[in-house]
């Protein structure tokens, strides 16, 4: 493990290839500018920074980043732990592991992490979509 970008993106160095940015499979954590974004990054650092992890590559995203599952030294699944901590959602559009939903429900009912303040925080995919739409509207207003 080389670095933590945010709650769902890390940089790893593998013995057989150069360091690579990895998007954690099946989860979506708050963006850095969202409430709990910094807490998600801090939790990710606590879990994995400076530790030797196991990476299972499951594909690449549209930005060319590796998408993978990460196992921590004790065998814990990094993504599952982020959801359990209440600092990530199961990314329904990309998740095949239905058991992650029950982990999220536990975090919600336990009011952990982002669920402590609200029962309906804005998921990152909605935050990004709203941000993109706002930027498009601003550009359109500038042109007119």
Q: Which positions are catalytic?
A: 23, 31, 65
Helix (H) or strand (E) holding 125: helix 124-143
Helix, strand, coil percent content, the chain, rounded in steps of 5: 35, 25, 40
Q: List 10's β-bridge partners, or say none.
A: 4, 22
- Give the residue among 10, 30, 23 at the shortest CA–CA distance from 113: 30
């Amino acid at each position: 493990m080389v670095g933590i970008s945010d709650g769902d993106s890390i940089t790893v160095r593998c013995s057989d290839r150069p360091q690579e940015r990895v998007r954690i499979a099946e989860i979506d954590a708050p963006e850095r500018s969202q409430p709990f974004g910094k807490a998600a990054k801090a939790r990710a650092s606590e879990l994995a920074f400076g530790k030797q992890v196991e990476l299972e590559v499951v594909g690449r995203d549209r930005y060319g980043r590796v998408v993978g599952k990460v196992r921590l030294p004790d065998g814990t699944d990094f993504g599952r732990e982020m959801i359990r901590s209440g600092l990530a959602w199961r990314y329904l559009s990309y998740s095949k592991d239905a058991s992650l939903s029950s982990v999220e429900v536990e975090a919600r009912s336990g009011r952990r992490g982002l669920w402590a303040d609200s029962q309906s925080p804005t998921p990152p995919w909605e935050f990004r979509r709203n941000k993109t739409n706002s930027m498009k509207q601003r550009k359109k207003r500038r042109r007119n």
